[in-house]
Amino acid sequence: MDWPYQFLDLSQAEKHARRQSLDRYALYAQLSALIPIGLVWLYQTLNKSSSSRKRDYTAVPSSDSFNTRKQSNWWSKLRWWLGEDVVAFEEVLGQRDQWVGGITWAAWLLILCVAGTSRDYMHLTKRFGIIAVSQYPLQYMLTLKSFNPVSWTLKLSHEETNRWHRVLARVTTFLLSLHTLFYYNYFIQNHILLAKIQSPVVIYGMLSFFGLNLMITTALRPLRKLSYRVFFVTHVLIALGLPVVLWFHAASSRKYMLEALGVFLVDIGFRKRDTITVETTISAIPGTSLIKIQVPVPRQRQNHFLRVAPGAHVYVNVPPATRSAFRRKDVKAANDAAEVLFEFMFNPFTIAHVDQDSGALTLVARQRAGPMTTALARFASSSSSSPSAQEKQALLNIEGPYGAAKHFPSLSLGSEFDRILLIAGGVGATFTIPLYRAIVAENPETKVEMVWAVRTAGEATWAVTENDARDILNDPNVHIYLTGNNGSAQESAAGGVSSGVGSGENSPLINLGGDGAVAVEMNTLRRTADGRVVAGKEHHRRRPDLKKVVDEVFGHEPEERVAILVCGPAKMGKQVRKQVGRYVRQGREVWFHNEGFGF
């Protein structure tokens, strides 16, 4: 079959008609994005109504209710399948729903690129470009934290909408790549390449194309792991500069660039509104690599920050006024680099505790290799040894709160679930402990258990320091296990944690998910009468057995609806999901949430 497109010599009237067609199909492409958003909203609304009727229905099951349940199980299995990872060469390439959605949307946009172009090669070439940029306002909107209409409509967190931003970014970059390749083919075929690549319009186009590919390249998972900061800084700078460059590249794209840049700047304004700058107390938890930040919330902002859903998080940034306290004293070059990096450092910290009486938030994080937690740990260590309490104070920007927790279904007894399991690894308990306390406070009869794996006993102490908090260590439904090595006792002792003798050889095992790591079967931690945290003695070491933990929660009535929430290392989440998947495929009614900031 011959190639249908040709280089046509059009009259001014025909060029005007082509321009009208380009603008019309670009508008179709932009407005058509409302269709999948509307369909998801409609599904959520109908599903919520159906769930409400199901909870209220107490009659003897009929054939109709049986058929309804079969359909529900079929849909649950499909949703679970769509949530599985796509893996190639041991790298996660997103989830199946992203691939299905991305391919479907790319196919639709390609149809809009081709429809009505006849045999006009330049019409097709221009259509690739204008259809792609018509998606930019939505593409920018999906990344926004505060001003995100998609998030509001679908009751999703910005982390969840950001998944689809990445999908749409790859689709639009694919279309713009076709736009670029088709134009260069035209230049080469007509022997005008050298002349054209010197024109400002083409130069602006190539700058845009280079910037897009740089964003896509730095967003690849291996490069993000190597340097997340490079990815983030590159993303922000190009996101701000791209609309300006495309403004000069193509006049037809200007309204879309104004929309994209507009929502981006409005979101910055909303985020400034949701940010407080306060004097915080930063301390290192002895014997661990954990950092605790206590944030006193100003009275006029307490209504916003203290009435948060359990499991919410905030973003922490170091303002210019206090950056000198976080600098390294020995390396000037490092200080200069840090000054620039601090402008782009907005690290997420889960709110571990909200003190309604004092109006303070408690944040807990583990020191990683990144510049933010390294700087905080260095400051905390130096201030801990200082005799001046004032030196422990540091001015920080606190932005938020954010998170998916405010959109969770009700987790208390008699709502949507019969049994709840919370699993945390390390500082992942900053997410699960507030949830656990909120669930029990709302209804003490709720069948909820929490499993928390920590490296050393000292890492559990932050959860029991609040005088008014529910004592996690003495709660029979909270199981805390140690996964450290033989040096754990010494490290624990350094953190003010005693090592005691206990029994309990049948304690369940938990995996922290480290490469090549093994789990250690430990007794549950407990608090003694004098307030000390006592760790049990090690008995066995073996491979992790998350299967047993999951089997126990499903080992009751087969009709029970189960909610499972996990927050910990990536491998922990994957292993829990793998075990839960067995029961989803058996037709069990499960709601599963894996909390995480990485992608």
CB 280 within 8 A of CB 362: no
CB 550 within 8 A of CB 588: no
- Distance from C-alpha of 403 to C-alpha of 158, rounded to nearest angstrom: 7
pTM above 0.95, yes or no: no
- Distance from C-alpha of 573 to C-alpha of 479, rounded to nearest angstrom: 18
pLDDT given at position 513:
36
pLDDT given at position 485:
58
Across the beta sheet with 562-567, the strand order is 478-482, 448-454, 419-425, 562-567, 590-595
- Distance from C-alpha of 55 to C-alpha of 49, rounded to nearest angstrom: 10
Q: How big is the CA angle at 77 (ends 75 and 82), to the nearest 5 degrees?
A: 95
- Distance from C-alpha of 291 to C-alpha of 598, rounded to nearest angstrom: 20
- Distance from C-alpha of 151 to C-alpha of 389, rounded to nearest angstrom: 42
Which has the closest alpha carbon to 477: 416, 524, 538, 541?
524
What single-letter amino acid sits at 66? F
> What does the block give as tokens for 291?
């950092």
Give me the average pLDDT of each 10-residue run along the chain (599 residues): 87 96 98 95 82 52 50 84 91 93 98 96 98 97 92 90 95 97 96 94 95 90 82 89 94 96 92 94 88 94 90 92 74 59 85 91 88 85 52 86 88 81 93 93 91 86 64 82 57 37 35 35 48 44 68 93 94 94 94 77
pLDDT given at position 56:
52
Other Cβ atoms less than 10 A from the Cβ of 468: the count is 9
pLDDT given at position 331:
54
The domains of the chain, with CATH numbers, are 12-52+71-271 (no CATH), 274-405 (2.40.30.10), 408-595 (3.40.50.80)
pLDDT given at position 374:
85
> Would you state the torsion angle of the CA atoms of residues 356, 357, 358, 363, taken in this order, to the nearest 10 degrees?
-30
- Distance from C-alpha of 173 to C-alpha of 438, rounded to nearest angstrom: 44
> Would you state the torsion angle of the CA atoms of residues 293, 296, 298, 302, taken in this order, to the nearest 10 degrees?
90
pLDDT given at position 583:
96
